[in-house]
Structure 1
Amino acid sequence: QNIAIDYEVPPTDVKVTLEALREDGFGARPQYECYLAELPPGQTNKEGGSAVGYVLFSYTYSAWKGRNLYIDNLYVHPQFRGQQIGKRLIEKAAQAAVSKGCGQLRMHVANWKAKEKDFLARRGGEDLMAKEGWSLFHLEEDALRRLAAQSTI
């Protein structure tokens, strides 16, 4: 929830539990992978921990491009921003994508995050909304359940 606050998202919008994160990432059928950036032994962040950032990603499939790596969340603790940690985490995710034979790396970036958009553009990233006019839609749980209930198949 602290990360949600840093993202200017109400903590009440965070629905995933620690138990679900553990099961979904480290259970019998992992749904995501995560790289964690940590401080050297003996050093701590302001909260007393060693974590300074992470990148959380999963694999998707495109009928046009094949395997993809999708970055769901890239986070660097405010105390450690500007030290290339986010860059290194994205590079590690890119290495994972290449090692798994992915044809693309995808991530959504908020329009107000100009610095992040520029970072990706300088490395060959394309803003598909600007370039091709794509829009991103999602259905929250209630809408998803209503749609599923309408199925006649």
Structure 2
Amino acid sequence: MPEFRGKSIGKALMSKVAQLGRAAGCTQLNFTVLNWNKTALDFYLNQGSTDVTSNLGYHYMYCHGDAFQKLADKEF
């Protein structure tokens, strides 16, 4: 919902998921983004994720290594 955009809710959610994953022994997040969703794609790229399949009509993303650790260390 537009009224909740820009309040760092998405960043806080991604960070918490990374924290929980790290605590469980995970080392990366994997997810997909539809090709038309440029706003979401830009958001995930700004969080340190990497676009693995940009030319297939969707974007398979992963966030690992230093980017995963940095995401898990964020506090909101």
| TM-score, normalization by structure 2 | 0.61
Higher helix residue share: 2
Higher relative contact order (CA 8 A, sep 6+): 2
Offset, 1:124 = 2.1
**Distance in structure 1 (CA, Å) of the matches to 2:3 and 2:48:** 28
Gap regions ≥5 residues in structure 2: 60-76
Who is 2:24 aligned against? 100
Tell me which of 125, 141, 144 is aligned to 2:49: 125
Which AA in structure 2 matches 1:110? L
Gap regions ≥5 residues in structure 1: 1-76, 137-153
Across the aligned residues of Structure 1 and Structure 2, the Cα RMSD in angstroms comes to 2.4
Segments ≥4 residues shifted beyond 4 Å: none
Larger radius of gyration: 1
Total equivalences in the alignment: 58
